[in-house]
Structure 1
Amino acid sequence: MDDTIHAGTDTDSRYVVATYRLRDRADTLEARAEGIAIGLTIGTWTDLPNARKAQVAAHCGRVEGIRVIDEAAPGGVIAEIDIAYPVANLDTTFASLLTTVFGKLSMDGEIRLQRLHLPEDLERAYPGPKFGVSGVRERFGVYGRPLVMSIFKACAGLTLDELVDQFGEQAAGGVDLVKDDEIFFSEVHASAAERVVAYREKAREVAAQTGRETAYAVNLTGPVHQLRDKAKRLAELGAGALLVNVVAYGFDVLADLARDPDISVPILAHPAVSGALYGSPNYGIAADIVLGQLMRLAGADMGIFPSMYGSVTLGGEATEQLLAHLRKDGVHRKVLPAPSAGIYPGLVPQLYRDFGIDLILNAGGGIHGHPGGASMGGQAFFDAISAVQQGQSLQAAAVDKPALAAAIAKWGARA
């Protein structure tokens, strides 16, 4: 049931509008909504003298809509409430945005931030992607097909020579990018700078045989106050991209990196810790806001998120909403999506259908677990891409492509 109790009609560019899904008594929804609008902006209204009311009126939130979507839910009705927050209350940081629309409210029982609408003028105040889809393609020289990215595995505890060997095996498969594992923080055996230099040398060595130089997405780690300088240094040394654990560090950290003109490499956003925000259907913040809308505003050029195919998944509807944020026409460049977990060569036709060509085929086990090793694992993805582009089934293509044949034998193939 969709039973509109109250709806406003005059929301404009002066307001951010947040939509919440909550459970409450039907007869208290209007009071609850008013309490949110005032409580997250000016704190109180009824106790203010008239002169003070006039002074703070421009900073007061207002109720835009109340809709009952399930009146038979146990423990009260399920409703959606739209609250408009004055842009004048914000300072264009993500800290101010998130604290305003969901700060103390996030602790007020069963309530979830479902949607967030920002006016274009406010969106422009955030950096957005420096490269975006077209810039990433230009940088890596990849056109007319998805990018292929291999995930570095078994990093911790290895010497630099061992890491270089592992990088070289992945690069030999022709992958466009090799990214660090997001949990690789230790620099006891090899610093990020040493890895960037050594991997680039190895990439050039491999490229002499393959004709393609693989880029390296290095995990940007360390104290927050050192990240910008470290990012600049890694870019200067030849990093292909920067991997950033955005939710763990904060969206404002990503925005700070994206705004800096001297950090001249694309940023690959990792979703680590984000499940703590979106994991419950009744609490937290919707996944498409966290991994789509905010990531793009903050400056991610490429965005990793759980695919629809693995054991960790967002589901089809959430994925569609997330993609809508990454790809919508707007004030910022579009983001290249990188669905992750459960990606293997036999899935490539399905990935084309679900995402088109503007995506990253991001594989860990689907490359490293190949019976012929990581180089054949990467090759199997390119064999699958070639088959799809030629309108050929993977099984038919595999007849004379041993890497793809072995991948299908191990993991199967979707038609």
Structure 2
Amino acid sequence: MDRFAVTYRLAAGTPAEAEELAAAIALEDTVEIPRDVVPKGYVEDVVLGRVLGLEQVGDSVWHARIGYHVDAVGRELPQLVNVILGNASILRGVRAIDLAPDAALRERFPGARFGAEGLRALTGRKTGGYLCPVVKPQGSSSETLARFCYLTARAGADIVKEDHGLANQDAAPFRERVAIAAEAVARANAERADAGDSTRALYFASIGGHGDQVRDLACYARDAGAGGVLLMPGLFGFDAMNRLAQDAEFDLPVMAHPSHLGPYVLSPDQGYGHGMLFGQMMRLAGADISVFPNHGGRFGFSPEECAEIASACRSGAGIGRAILPSPGGGMSPDRLPDMRTQYGADCVYLLGGSLLRQGEEVGAAIKACRAALDGDD
């Protein structure tokens, strides 16, 4: 019987404790009843999670591989997330570190609509990394933010991404801001085309508002001329992102931001592995680009954890199309050559506050960053 498998890192002192914890996960994430009262037949044979393997990998550290049948999931993403790490997230010493999908799971959850290959077509950038300035800070007027959009897009940025802190504040209300910014990027793209540039910038609007407004705001951004949207699954839920990605009437790429997701990865004994959350789970939920904090910035991710994320975004073993990793978090232009060495061409390179120091000369900084990504000194 085919099953998809989730590998968990377990903190357990003895083999018996590890076996007990693995069995508890299989129960808690499916039937959630004592083992001795699990009904015989279909429930026990199909619905109940099954421990497929248990291996000690360190001192009091184990890897448990647990198989789940798609019948325990149904066809909605929230229940799939519930099976992967539902009640098990409340058990001490349980961390989900890998998802191995089967054919049934791939069929029901196709992943990203565009992915890495689709972003190449949308931007026209056939080779090289993507340069992505971040539009900020909150408190600025819509006109000020749009001016930054224009200057960076005109200079050759590939993706002009709003900061996740831009929501629907009075200083720059969502609908006003998005309309002005989209027009500014469209004007920059027209000037680039007139100058013979075959690439174009995509403006990604940050979706704020209430949970029941996500689709309406995303569609407004699309109609206003945005080239994509930024969404925070840690605030709105993975399903909100997945619904956009699978919506036949919404045909824009989605960038996922890690806000509010830190507690899921910062403990070695709980939550998710870095690659699983920011790579596999983002792909599963339909993100085309996954933002995460690069090592050496304001946050504490290690080079190994960042490499794990990038690998999970690109792996052929993942759900659906490969997606683009997007490291950021306090990066400056002088970091780009080293980042290019680590992440390569299929990557969206975020630059935020460091560009604001350039003021009206930010276009020159964008061109220098483009040269750094292309390897021209």
Q: Structure 2 length as normaliser, TM-score?
A: 0.89
Instruction: Letter of the 1:301 partner, please give it.
Output: D
Q: Sort the Cα spacing of 1:226 and 1:366 in 2 relative to 1 into closer, same or farther, 3 A.
A: same
The higher radius of gyration belongs to 1
Q: Structure 1 residue 185 and structure 2 residue 167: aligned?
A: yes
Take 2:83 and 2:202, find their aligned partners in 1: how far apart are those partners?
Answer: 40
Q: Is the 8 A contact 2:253 2:288 kept in 1?
A: yes
Q: 341-350 vs 280-289, which deviates more? A: 341-350
Take 1:164 and 1:67, find their aligned partners in 2: how far apart are those partners?
Answer: 54
Q: 87-96 vs 355-364, which deviates more? A: 87-96
Take 1:175 and 1:28, find their aligned partners in 2: how far apart are those partners?
Answer: 53
* Alpha-carbon displacement from aligned partner over 1:72-106 (angstroms, at most 9, x marks no partner): xxxxx222222222221112333212222322222
Q: Structure 1 residue 30 and structure 2 residue 13: aligned?
A: no
Q: Structure 1 residue 18 and structure 2 residue 7: aligned?
A: yes
Instruction: Letter of the 1:253 partner, please give it.
Output: A
Deviation at 1:263, TM superposition (A): 1.1
Take 2:178 and 2:264, find their aligned partners in 1: how far apart are those partners?
Answer: 32
User: CA RMSD, aligned part only?
Assistant: 2.3
Q: 1:236 aligns with which of 217, 223, 233?
A: 223
Take 2:280 and 2:321, find their aligned partners in 1: how far apart are those partners?
Answer: 12
- 5 Å-filtered alignment, 1:122-141, equals 122-141=105-124
Q: 342-351 vs 295-304, which deviates more? A: 342-351
Deviation at 1:255, TM superposition (A): 0.6
Q: Which residue of 1 aligns with 2:240?
A: 253
Which consecutive aligned stretches of 4+ in structure 1 deviate over 6 angstroms post-superposition? none
Q: Structure 1 residue 105 and structure 2 residue 88: aligned?
A: yes
Deviation at 1:32, TM superposition (A): 3.0
Take 2:82 and 2:191, find their aligned partners in 1: how far apart are those partners?
Answer: 53
DSSP 3-state at the match of 1:79: strand
Take 2:185 and 2:211, find their aligned partners in 1: how far apart are those partners?
Answer: 30
* Alpha-carbon displacement from aligned partner over 1:5-47 (angstroms, at most 9, x marks no partner): xxxxxxx523433323222333433233323323433322324
Q: Which residue of 1 aligns with 2:35?
A: 45
Q: Sort the Cα spacing of 1:37 and 1:265 in 2 relative to 1 into closer, same or farther, 3 A.
A: closer
DSSP 3-state at the match of 1:280: coil
Q: Sort the Cα spacing of 1:175 and 1:269 in 2 relative to 1 into closer, same or farther, 3 A.
A: same
Deviation at 1:130, TM superposition (A): 1.1
Deviation at 1:313, TM superposition (A): 4.0
Instruction: Letter of the 1:255 partner, please give it.
Output: N
RCO higher in 1 or 2 (8 Å CA, sep ≥ 6)? 2
Q: 2:349 aligns with which of 340, 361, 369?
A: 361
Take 1:47 and 1:160, find their aligned partners in 2: how far apart are those partners?
Answer: 61
Instruction: Letter of the 2:35 partner, please give it.
Output: W
DSSP 3-state at the match of 1:53: coil
Q: Which residue of 1 aligns with 2:294?
A: 307
Q: Which residue of 1 aligns with 2:103?
A: 120
Instruction: Letter of the 1:132 partner, please give it.
Output: G
Q: Is the 8 A contact 2:2 2:69 kept in 1?
A: no
Gaps of 5+ in 1: 1-11, 72-76, 391-396, 398-415
Instruction: Letter of the 1:235 partner, please give it.
Output: R
Percent of aligned pairs sharing the same letter:
25
* Alpha-carbon displacement from aligned partner over 1:216-263 (angstroms, at most 9, x marks no partner): 210012222221122122112200110111221111111100011211
Q: Which residue of 2 aligns with 1:273?
A: 260
Take 2:158 and 2:222, find their aligned partners in 1: how far apart are those partners?
Answer: 17
Q: Which residue of 2 aligns with 1:226?
A: 213
Deviation at 1:271, TM superposition (A): 1.0
* Alpha-carbon displacement from aligned partner over 1:326-374 (angstroms, at most 9, x marks no partner): 1122562211121112432222222222111111121013322348742
Number of residues of Structure 1 aligned to a counterpart in Structure 2: 369
Q: Sort the Cα spacing of 1:142 and 1:68 in 2 relative to 1 into closer, same or farther, 3 A.
A: same
Gaps of 5+ in 2: none
DSSP 3-state at the match of 1:264: coil
Q: Sort the Cα spacing of 1:346 and 1:98 in 2 relative to 1 into closer, same or farther, 3 A.
A: same
Q: Sort the Cα spacing of 1:179 and 1:53 in 2 relative to 1 into closer, same or farther, 3 A.
A: same
Q: Sort the Cα spacing of 1:136 and 1:53 in 2 relative to 1 into closer, same or farther, 3 A.
A: same
